[in-house]
């Protein structure tokens, strides 16, 4: 079962919601966060990336940053203002980007089920990133950005959500990137039915937010070492049905050709895999687009044997094995400074720009992973390579927070 709990949300008053809402802390660097928050003292980036309010060069993981985040959080609660709901509730959160629409349920989900793998993972987390968000969460005593979950679609839940969205939303605005965000508070009379609907869902899957979930679990152990029950037993999340999700590729940039010339690399790829002139976006699974020396090529990875584990059959895994590791010497992608990652939301123009600058030698554009592939890997206990999926559109921080 998937245990869903209503909670007393900390949220902005409707008039301030658009100014408070901010992109997730981990999709921007410090300079990008500073630019986005410029001229907007209500931006939640002052809380989630508090180093932007400290002198340039401040270590984002220094204690002073978490102290500043807590102070900024209290200041924002007064200035926006942010209010705490009088009674626990659930929320419906809709994202619209062009013709794409996805609508999910926001509430608190069980960290016990996270520990017991009812909430399933598909990525390893990095200790340093866990440390960062755990310190942030404990210092604020709040989960300030929701985990992005998915589940196999249930008609009964879909019908209940559809009824909620017929009412007037609590918030509705279009962000600077063109994505529309709308949030409804679920009528109290409908909450038990939605909770019961999720109780019939056999498993939830983390789509985005592995470090948020892991940090919430670590904070729980810190705040309740004797396992006393409390708000720390749950994690704030929004759960969307799988059929509504949109996954974009997470593309690769490589700094150098490991001693190969462009012509030599093309010859090797032609001998081993097959290379033809192509476009910036692969047309099908098994093909990878490569930008090298000012031109796009299609590299065929060939068919993956059915006997391969599902995580090893992914294009991103086979790219790593067949090209990045064997030809370009990229080992551990978590630590190798010769590789960088560009989320699909930034487009292939960003790959061309960065290779064209001369700082990077070659780029690879991938066919996106499917939601069912992600679920199959999670069900099998597998782990996807780092930076395999880019979910778009993304939830905004600051609209709903969970005080612990």
**CATH for 250-368, among 3.40.91, 3.30.1760, 1.10.3470, 3.40.50?**
3.30.1760
And the tokens for 337? 């400074």
Q: What is the DSSP letter of 274?
A: -
CA distance 248 to 236: 24
- What's the pLDDT at 279? 97
Say whether pTM exceeds 0.75: yes
Q: Are 49 and 60 in contact (CB under 8 A)?
A: yes
- What's the pLDDT at 58? 96
CA distance 90 to 93: 10
CA distance 101 to 184: 15
- What's the pLDDT at 302? 87
And the tokens for 241? 């049905």
Q: Are 206 and 149 in contact (CB under 8 A)?
A: yes
- What's the pLDDT at 303? 83
- What's the pLDDT at 335? 84
Question: Contacts for 383-386 with beta carbons within 8 Å, 24 or more apart?
Answer: 383/121, 383/122, 383/123, 383/124, 383/311, 384/122, 384/123, 384/311, 384/314, 384/316, 384/317, 385/311, 385/314, 385/316, 385/317, 385/320, 385/333, 386/123, 386/124, 386/333, 386/334, 386/341
Q: What angle do CA 242, 246, 248 make, to 5 degrees?
A: 135
Element holding 128 (H helix, E strand):
helix 127-140
Residues in the chain: 404
- What's the pLDDT at 181? 98
User: Quick count: other Cβ atoms within 10 Å of Cβ 283?
Assistant: 11
CA dihedral 355, 358, 360, 361 (to 10 degrees): 80
Where along the chain do its domains lie? 4-246+392-403, 250-368
Q: What is the pLDDT of residues 280-305, one digit of tens each?
A: 999 999 999 999 999 999 999 988 88
User: Quick count: other Cβ atoms within 10 Å of Cβ 56?
Assistant: 9
Cis link prior to 393 (omega < 30° from 0)? yes
Among residues 154, 322, 183, 329, the alpha carbon closest in space to that of 244 is found at 154
**Per-residue tens of pLDDT for the chain, all 404 residues:** 899 999 999 999 999 999 999 999 999 999 999 999 999 999 999 999 999 999 999 999 999 999 999 999 999 999 999 999 999 999 999 999 999 999 999 999 999 999 999 999 998 888 899 999 999 999 999 999 999 999 999 999 999 999 999 999 999 999 999 999 999 999 999 999 999 999 999 999 999 999 999 999 999 999 987 778 899 999 999 999 999 999 999 999 999 999 999 999 999 999 999 999 999 999 999 999 999 999 999 999 988 888 888 899 999 999 999 999 999 999 888 889 999 999 887 889 999 999 999 999 999 999 999 999 999 999 998 889 888 999 999 999 999 999 99
Q: Are 244 and 157 in contact (CB under 8 A)?
A: no
- What's the pLDDT at 347? 86
First to last CA, the chain: 24
- What's the pLDDT at 224? 84
Q: What is the pLDDT of residues 318-336, one digit of tens each?
A: 999 999 999 999 988 888 9
CA distance 114 to 357: 43
CA distance 290 to 298: 6
- What's the pLDDT at 332? 87
Which residue has 């301030």 as its token pair? 16
């Amino acid at each position: 079962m998937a245990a869903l709990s209503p909670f007393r949300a900390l949220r902005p008053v409707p008039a301030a919601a658009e100014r408070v809402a901010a992109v997730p802390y981990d999709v921007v660097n410090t300079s990008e966060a500073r630019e986005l928050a410029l001229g907007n003292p209500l931006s939640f980036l002052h809380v989630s990336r508090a180093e932007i309010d400290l002198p340039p060069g401040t270590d984002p993981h220094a204690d002073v940053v978490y102290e500043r985040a807590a102070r900024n959080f209290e200041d924002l609660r007064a200035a926006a203002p942010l209010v705490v709901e009088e009674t626990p509730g659930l929320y419906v959160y809709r994202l619209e980007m062009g013709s794409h629409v996805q609508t999910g349920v926001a509430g608190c989900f069980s960290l016990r089920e996270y520990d017991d793998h009812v909430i399933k993972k598909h990525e390893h987390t990095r200790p340093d990133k866990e440390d960062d968000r755990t310190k942030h969460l404990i210092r604020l005593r709040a989960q300030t950005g929701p985990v992005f979950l998915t589940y196999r679609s249930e008609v009964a839940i879909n019908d209940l959500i559809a009824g909620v969205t017929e009412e007037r939303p609590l918030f509705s605005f279009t962000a600077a990137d063109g994505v529309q965000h709308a949030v409804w508070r679920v009528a109290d009379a409908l909450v038990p039915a939605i909770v019961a609907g999720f109780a019939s869902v056999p498993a939830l899957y983390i789509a985005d937010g592995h470090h948020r979930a892991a940090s919430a679990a670590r904070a729980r152990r810190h705040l309740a070492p004797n396992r006393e029950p409390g708000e720390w037993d749950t994690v704030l999340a929004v759960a969307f049905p799988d059929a509504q999700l949109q996954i974009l590729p997470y593309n690769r940039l490589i700094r150098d050709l490991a001693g190969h010339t462009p012509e030599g690399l093309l010859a090797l790829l032609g001998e081993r895999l097959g290379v033809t002139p192509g476009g910036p976006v692969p047309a099908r699974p098994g093909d990878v687009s490569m930008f090298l020396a000012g031109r796009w090529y299609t590299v065929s990875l060939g068919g993956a044997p059915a006997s391969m584990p599902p995580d090893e059959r992914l294009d991103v895994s086979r790219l790593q094995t067949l090209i990045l590791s064997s030809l370009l010497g990229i080992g551990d992608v978590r630590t190798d400074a010769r590789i960088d990652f560009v989320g699909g939301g930034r487009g292939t123009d960003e790959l061309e720009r960065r290779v064209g600058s001369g700082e990077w030698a070659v780029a690879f554009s991938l066919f996106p992973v499917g939601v069912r592939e992600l679920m199959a890997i999670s069900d099998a206990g597998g782990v996807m390579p780092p930076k395999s999926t880019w979910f778009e559109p993304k939830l905004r921080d600051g609209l709903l927070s969970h005080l612990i």
